[in-house]
Amino acid sequence: MLSYQHSYHAGNFADVHKHLTLSLLLESLNKKPKPWSYFETHAGTALYDLSAENATKTGEFKQGVSLLQGKKLPSLFDSYLQVVKQLNTAIDPCVKYPGSPWFASQAARDGDKISLMELHPGEHQQLKALFRRNSAVAVHHRDGYEGVLSLLPPKPNRGLVLIDPSYEVKSEYLQVAKFIEKAYQRWSNGCFAIWYPLLKAGNHHEMLRKIKHSGIRKVLQAEFFVKSATDERMYGSGMLLINPPWHLEQQLQQLSESLYQHLAETSAAPPQIQWLVAE
């Protein structure tokens, strides 16, 4: 939706969960010397100012990335925290927050390719300006689903697609499921990472059901909760991972348990990591 602005929500618990997962996926890609391709359907802007009006109005980052400052955290957090730290100072450790395009650009090596789709005119212009001198990053002003599909299968032929729409419209869930089926047909060896919100309405269940019965194998589901499932607000964050690295299940279990310790309210259920569809 063109009305959605992520600057109100940057650095919240869902961003932390999503970007930690993304950091682990990028780390895994970099373990092999072969170059990779990275795509985003809804790139947003790559950098957010947590001292700006939009962020301070909601204050969501205070229950997210801010709660990790000064904590003793597992080494799985290192890559994520390093990217955040590089944008800030010791005096003000949590003023700037990176979006997912920034995490990808910081992980990219010579030969790696990044393609970002963003339909919102203002956010597209910000992305374009930020990466104008980075030849590895292509910024497209087009529909994310159509744009990514047109570029599959990619060269290099290993890599990752991140799908994280706003889900402001209920139909977006099924749109994601339809996109995944088409994208997987074109790039069955690619890794697909789908973020989705956990809300009382439960609109994500139909998306999960569609993907579960699509015939796609190796689908890992990771859900992290910060509030009771009866809460009227977003109570958790979900990640669906198709063709994940073999070690990601164990990594997400450790990561989620640490996040649960530092970010979750006492009413929240423990994190759940399970295979929606086995290999």
Report yes or no: 116 and 140 within 8 Å, Cβ to Cβ. yes
**Helix/strand/coil percent split, the chain, to 5:** 40, 20, 40
Choosing from 78, 92, 143, 164, the catalytic residue is: 164
Task: For tokens 């599909």, name the residue.
Answer: 149
231 in active site: no
Query: 189: exposed, middle or buried (C-beta count within 10 Å: 0-12, 13-18, 19+)?
Result: exposed
β-strands 96-98, 113-117: how paired? unpaired
d(CA 195, CA 257): 18
Closest CA to 161 of 218, 271, 241: 241
CA–centroid distance for 139 within its chain: 18
End-to-end CA distance of the chain: give it in Å, rounded.
Answer: 34
| Beta strand ranges found along 112-215 (DSSP E) | 113-117, 137-140, 159-163, 191-198
Which residues are identified as catalytic? 164
